[in-house]
Structure 1
């Protein structure tokens, strides 16, 4: 089901003249779908999936002659910031809300997309999580204890791969 969602999204959002973009999107979809399924079933994001996104990012950036350093610095900064925020929350509340896997995924996504996409990625992935959490609460009358965030981050990365930053 996720593969169909990613495939349809790619077909709808792709640039009609860019065949290479679809190849890159297919390469990107593989680790994103894998990590989404893994996070949904075991609430853990595999490090190899984040590494797969980084590898795809390197291929994309080199093929487009895009300077890698600004992407790398932004990705590492987001990783560090979100890891720190998650750690502060954990120490204050005693339970995890934003795990290191989520922080790594945000970092890998920004490495791929670039610094201008930071607000877009945070907003789009958060809206997805809020929407699903809200619908789940409305359907069952019970607020879910924890919803894996990785699938929403992953799908936001995939969508943003095809479009320009919104908040420029």
Structure 2
């Protein structure tokens, strides 16, 4: 009889790797070619982050630093102007503080770490890229994709790693823009 834990880990890892590659593959030929200069490092960091979090349920700080460095790369490539990057940074800082506070409140209320500091740091780093207008789309896409995965897997004993879903959402917003951009409103 095969070890079901090992098979489940492989299934979860395959899903996470797919999440990291799917937006990049979908953007091929559709997204602005200049965005690939930042999109490829995001996908690469996402793959590493997904494997690490699937194994240890921990988002490496270096992954968040790498995503923040991608925002710097976007500035040097002219994809983000410096002035909006300052607003992105302030939004990222406020987001980090709010999410860390929410994580502490959840821990105080339920006695278990439901939303970790690594998740908060990763969302803040992604906010540097997508900005305040992309933040709601980032959170919505990450939450819904994580919810769908949770419903499909129905794993009772452990939580669901959020990092791969955050990276998935960041890539979609980076390549295609916020959801409001698709509404047809000027």
TM-score, length-scaled by structure 2: 0.80
Match of 2:176, SS state, is: coil
Q: In the aligned structure 2, how far is the partner of 1:35 from the partner of 1:17? A: 24
1:145 and 2:158 are equivalent in the alignment: yes
- 8 Å Cα contact 1:136/1:144 also seen in 2: no
CA drift at 1:31: 1.4
Spell out the pairing of 1:60-75 with structure 2 (5 A cutoff).
60-64=74-78, 65-66=80-81, 67=83, 68-75=85-92
CA distance in 1, matches of 2:19, 2:61: 23
Shift of 1:5: 5.3
Change (3 A) 1:42 1:163: same
Q: Deviations over 1:53-77 (max 9, x none)?
A: 0001111033225122101001111
What do residues 25-73 of structure 1 show as CA deviations (whole Å, max 9, x unaligned)?
A: 1112121221111111100000001000000111103322512210100
Q: 2:20 touches 2:167 (CA, 8 Å); kept in 1? A: no
Q: Report the number of matched residues.
A: 164
Instruction: Show structure 1 runs of 5+ residues with no match.
Output: none
The equivalent of 2:103 in structure 1 is: 86
Unaligned runs of 5+ in 2: 1-13, 182-186
> Residue 44 of structure 2 aligns with which residue?
30
**Structure 2 residue 61 is the aligned partner of structure 1 residue 47:** yes
- Aligned residues of 2:31 and 2:176 also touching (Cα < 8 A): no
Instruction: Report if aligned partners of 1:31, 1:52 keep a CA contact under 8 Å in 2.
Output: yes
Residue 8 (structure 2) aligns with: none
Q: Describe how 1:1-168 pairs up with structure 2 within 5 A.
A: 6-14=20-28, 16=30, 18-64=32-78, 65-66=80-81, 67=83, 68-137=85-154, 143=156, 145-167=158-180
TM-score by length of 1: 0.88
Shift of 1:8: 4.6
